[in-house]
Chains A and B, each alone.
Chain A
């Protein structure tokens, strides 16, 4: 297990270095002043130029520059946003909780709905399994943006039932503590907090549904496939022959063994889910990292853009590796696949 962990850690460091290298090259090749692209200081004074050149080792060779860049970024110095003049890190800390809140809720929803439906879809009797199977195929082929617009049009505009844009009605001046809106509302002692909570939940419904759709279909399909394979195995037959009830077979034997392949597939789809987050944030003007990255892109804010990309990509890498470790804990066979 120790060797396995070390290997994963090694992979993490190497991938991160390659990622930083790509971003560094992008910063050098981008139009505009290199120093500005790296530090975000627009129109630096003589003195600032000297200090920044030293800090980023721009007078040295490429490798020194790269190492200085890595040191800056990994110590949390992402430079200043060229559009607002504030540190990129501060802006990131403002927007990341919004994205996390949405993503966590959507993934929870996907698991809560997807796992039972996956089990049901693996059944052998009645029309339900086939219906679910067909349904996931259909859902799988619907693009996120289209689903988002459809729900927005139906529930937001035609029925006028749910807010179709934004995170909360801005008249609720919720103080920023953790950045997670639901938590912040509960922490505040304002007299209107229950109304605000209800409003925030209403705003969450549509984006969460749309974002949860893709992972939910993935979960249903993998659980079903794994369950079907599992239920055919000899140990299950043996248990069945001994008269263990079917629900116990499913819940305590087949399902836990099916979770590992599901986790593996989900971790492979993290990039997909991240791009889904960006699309959903754009459609519902959710003030998270996706909208923020898009704004940075429009405004030609290079430091913000590279900073945001770095954080998103790094968190995907870290999450993938964490999920792999989780799988290794669940399934001893994987631990032996040292080269995985």
Chain B
């Protein structure tokens, strides 16, 4: 199982982390990886942590939402990957 950080307003999932990952979500900021990564944009007023979630096969932030189940925005993903193919960038891989 995993824990996720998700945005409250639209259930957009920001991170999928291992259950034992140390996450500290406060009113000002959020850290994960035991303080190794810091975000001033993620805070208790806008985001929440959900535990006991089954992670998707391949996660990439920005294309998945999670309420009680996962949803993948394939339209946006395909839009990015079309550009990536044209300019020679590695594709983003995401899969439910």
Question: Do A and B form a real pair?
Answer: no
Q: A residues engaging B (CB < 8 A)?
A: none
Q: B residues engaging A (CB < 8 A)?
A: none
